[in-house]
Structure 1
Amino acid sequence: MKYKRHFYSRIPNTAIFLAITTLFFLKIIIFILVKNQVISFSLGGGSDANYYDAYAQGSIDVALNIWPVILRYLNNLGLYYREFISYIFLFLNLLVIPISVAKLAEVKIKENQKYYFYIFLICLLYPTLFFFVFDVYRDVFMVLSFLIGCLVVKALLTTTNTIKFIFLFLASLVIGWYLAALRPYLGLAFIGALFLWSIRFTKRRIVLLSTLYLVALFIANYIGVFDAITEYREGFEEGEGGSTLGLNFSNPIMFIPNFILSTLGQLFGLYITNPSAIILLLIETLPFFFMLIYVIKNIRLADNFVRFLIIFFVLYASVWLIGNDNLGTAVRLRMYNYLAIYISFFYILRLKKLYSVTSEVVSK
C-alpha cells in the first residue's frame, strides 16, 4: 500500500504552527474584549446560560438536565463563580479538547507532528465550540464529557484483560447514562454504539447497510416510533427558535425525502439563510465533508474504535436530524458528529501512513 501525499502534507509545519499560535492568542483577545463588553454578538440561545445560573443560585427549581444540578452542587460548596467557569471553558477549548482529540486519534506530536498540528488547527478553527465558552452553557462541558467517554471506550476495545474489559464496559455504561442525563439521545447513541461496534464495514456493505438503514427508519416512523420526536420538531415552527427548514415529518410517505433534506440542510449546512451560515459552511462543514469522504473511501482500515465512532455518528444523527428543525441549534447538535469524523479521519490517516511505511521497509 503506497501512501499518497496530499496537498496538506506539503504545507510546512512552521506555517501550521504559526496559524495555531495566531488563532490561540486571537481567541484570548476576543474573549477578553467580549468579557469587557468592548464587542458583543448573539449566540441565538443566550437564555440558556441565564437559566443555568438562576438554577445554580436557587431562583429556579426545575432542572431540564443534569448540568444545572452540577452547577447548584458547586454553588452549595461555595465553588460556583459564573465568570470563572467561562475561563475554564476557554482553557478547555484552547488546549484540553484539541489534546483529547489527538489522543483519541493516537496522533503524537513526536511521531506525527504535522497531523498533531492539523488537529489543533481544526479544533481551534471550529467557531461554534468557541461561541459557548463565554458563559455557563453546557456545550463545552458536554463535548469534554463525550471525549472522555470515547477515551474509556477506546481503552475498552483495545484491552485483552477480561477483568479490565468488564470494568471498562461498566464504566462506559455509566458514562453513557451520564451523557443521557446531559442530553438523552447523545447518551443513548453512545450506549447503542457500545453494543453495535462489531458491525464490520466495506464499501459494498456500506451501500447495503445505508439502504437497510433508510428502510428501517421508514418502518420505524410508519409504526409511530418517532411520533414524540416529530411532534417536538413541529414545535420549532410555532416557537421563536429562528430559521427552520419547515419540513413536514408527519407525512410518512415523505419521511425519507424529508430526512435527506434535513441531513443536507442541518448536518451539511446547505440551507443558507445568512452570511454566518456561509462562514460555518466553509470553516466547519467543508473540512468535515472531505474527512467523511476519506473515512468512507478507507473504511477497510476501520478498527473496533473507529467502527464505534461511525455507529455513534449514525445513531446520534438519526435522532436529532428528525427531531430538530432549528438551524441555530443544529450547529450545536452536530458538533459530536463532526468530532467523531475528525477523530476517525486522523486515526485512519495515521494507520494508512504507518502501513505504507511498514510495507516499504518489508519490501526493502
Structure 2
Amino acid sequence: MRISFKTGVWIFLSMALVATKMLIYTYVVFNGHDFFGGGNDSDYYDRYALGYDETSVNIWPDFLRFLNDVGLYSRSGVSFFLFIVGIIFVPYLSGKISDISGDRKLFYIVFFIVGIYPTIFYYTFDIYRDVLMIFLFLLGVYFLKICVFESKHKAIFLFGLGFLFSWVLYLFRPYLGFGYFIMLIGGYFFNIRKVNLKILFLIYLFILQVVCYMGFLDPIFSYRRLFFDIADMDGGSNLGIEFASREGFVVDFSKSIVFQIFGLFFVNISSVFVFFLESVPFIFMLSYVLKNKIYTNKFIDFLMLFFIVYSTVWLLGNDNLGSAVRLRVFGYLVVLFSAAIVYQNKLMGLKGK
C-alpha cells in the first residue's frame, strides 16, 4: 500500500516521539529525577505491595500485593510495563477509536497528539494506576465503538462486555466506572444533534441545583472538604471552592468548571505549561464538536454523555488543580475522539449518520 507524503511525515513524527520518550525514560530512571514534584502515590503502592502498609484504597495496591505474594512483583518491572502501555498502546488505541474512515494519516495524528499529552507521559514513569486505567477505559471505548458501528448483536455484546469494563473501572476509581456505566445505558437515548445546547446546559444546572437542595450531593461535598484539611496539598494548588451554601451552588460549580475543566487557575509555571499544552487544545476541540454537532453520530452521543456524567462527579468532589489534571484526562480524550470523528464526517459529508 502506497503511503502519501503527509502520512509518512506523521508516521515519522509518531515513531520519533516514541523513540524520544524511551530516551527520556532511560535518563530519568537512571538519574532519579522528578519532573514536577508533589506527592508520589507510587511510593505508597510500593510499600503496600511489599507488606509495609495495610491500608488499601483501591484495587491497584491489592493487585500489586498479589504479584508480590506470587513472586512476580518488581517496582521497576511494573513501571517499565506501564511505560510501554502508556507510550504505545494508549496512543494506538486512541488512533483506532478515532479512525472511522481508514485514514492512516488521521490515525497517526491522533497517535501523536495523545503521545505528547504531558500528564499521560508523566504518569508512565512509575507504578501509578493512571496509565492502566486509561488503557482499560480506552479498551472499553474501543469495544463500544465496535458494538455501535459493526456488531449485528451489539446489544448483548455491549451490555455483557460493558458491565465488565464498568465494574473493573469502578474498582480502580468509582466515579470512572459509574461514568462508563451511565454511558452504556444512556447513550442510546442521548442525541446531541437534536438538543439545543444552551437550553440543555440550563436544564443541567437546574437539575444539579435541585439535587443539591435535596441533600443528595452532601456525601460528595464531605469528601471535597478533605482538600481543605490539607491546606498545602500539591504546593497550594487547592482552588478554595467550598460549596458552602446551597444558594451559591451554581456560582461555585461554574467556577469549578472554569478552573478545573478549562484550566484557568494558575498557581505556578507548571499550571501555565499544562494550560497551553492540554486545556487550549481541549477548548478548541470541544468548540469544534459543538459547532459542528450536525456531523456527530451515535458513537459521539455515547462519548459526550460520558464526558458530562464523569466530569460532573469529579468537578463536585475535587478541589485540587493537581488532581484535576489527572482526573480530566478521560474527558479530554473522548472530546479528542469526537473531534476527529466529526472532522472525518465533514469530509465525507455525513450528517448525523
Q: Which residue does the alignment assign to 2:164?
A: 174
Change (3 A) 1:43 1:144: farther
Match in the other structure for 1:262 = 256
Q: C-alpha separation between the residues in 1 aligned to 2:149 and 2:137?
A: 18
Which residue number in structure 1 is paired with residue 183 of structure 2? 193
Q: Is the 8 A contact 2:36 2:270 kept in 1?
A: no
SS at match of 1:202: helix
C-alpha separation in 2, matches of 1:209 and 1:301: 19
Instruction: Tell me which residue corresponds to 1:8.
Output: none
- For normalisation by structure 1, the TM-score amounts to 0.88
Q: Does 1:301 align with 2:295?
A: yes
- 1:88 is matched by which residue type in structure 2? F
Deviation at 1:158, TM superposition (A): 3.2
- 1:354 and 2:345 matched: no
In structure 1, the partner of 2:67 is: 74
Indicate which of 136, 144, 151 corresponds to 1:153: 144
1:291 and 2:285 are equivalent in the alignment: yes
Q: TM-score, normalization: structure 2?
A: 0.91
1:63-122 C-alpha deviation (Å, 9 max, x unpaired): 1111111112222232221101111122112211111011111257xx423312211221
Q: 1:102 aligns with which of 85, 95, 108?
A: 95
CA distance in 2, matches of 1:149, 1:229: 26
Aligned mates of 2:193, 2:152 — CA distance in 1: 29
In the alignment, the residues of structure 2 paired with residue 63 and residue 238 of structure 1 have an alpha-carbon distance, to the nearest angstrom, of: 21
1:275: Cα distance to partner? 0.9
What is the RMSD computed on CA atoms of the aligned residues?
Answer: 1.9
Q: 2:107 aligned with 1:116, yes or no?
A: yes
In the TM superposition, residue 21 of structure 1 has moved relative to its aligned partner by: 3.9
CA offset at residue 165 of structure 1?
A: 2.8
SS in 1 for 2:113: helix
**2:81 alignment partner in structure 1:** 88
1:168 offset after TM fit, Å? 3.0
Higher RCO (CA < 8 A, seq sep 6+): 1
Output one character per residue of 1:173-213: Cα deviation in whole Å (capped at 9) or x when no partner: 12101111100111111101111112112375222211110
Answer whether contact 1:155 1:168 (CA < 8 A) is retained: no
Helix, strand or coil: the match of 1:173? helix
Displacement of 1:268 in angstroms is 0.8
- Following TM superposition, by how much is the alpha carbon of 1:32 offset from its aligned partner in structure 2, in angstroms? 1.0
Cα gap change, 1:107 to 1:120, in 2 (>3 Å): farther
- 1:137 counterpart SS class: coil
- 1:25 aligned to 2:19? yes
Q: Could you say what secondary structure the match of 2:136 adopts?
A: helix
Give per-residue Cα distances to partners, 1:241-298, cap 9 Å, x unaligned.
2311101202111111111111111111110111111111111111111111111112
Give the equivalent residue in structure 1 for 2:308: 314
Structure 1: how far apart are the matches of 2:107 and 2:30?
33
Number of residue pairs the alignment of both structures matches: 342
- Counterpart in the other structure of 1:361: none
Unpaired runs of 5+ in structure 1?
Answer: 1-10, 357-364
Matches within 5 A, 1:112-261: 112-159=103-150, 161-162=152-153, 165-197=155-187, 198-202=189-193, 205-239=196-230, 240-242=232-234, 243-261=237-255
Question: What are the residue-to-residue correspondences of 1:5-20 with 2, within 5 Å?
Answer: 12-13=6-7, 15-20=9-14
Tell me, which stretches of 5 or more residues in structure 2 are unaligned? Answer: none
Shift in alpha-carbon separation, 1:95–1:270, aligned structure 2, 3 A: same
Q: How far off its partner does 1:13 sit?
A: 4.4
Which of 323, 330, 340 matches 1:336?
A: 330
Deviation at 1:170, TM superposition (A): 1.7
What SS is found at the alignment partner of 2:227? helix
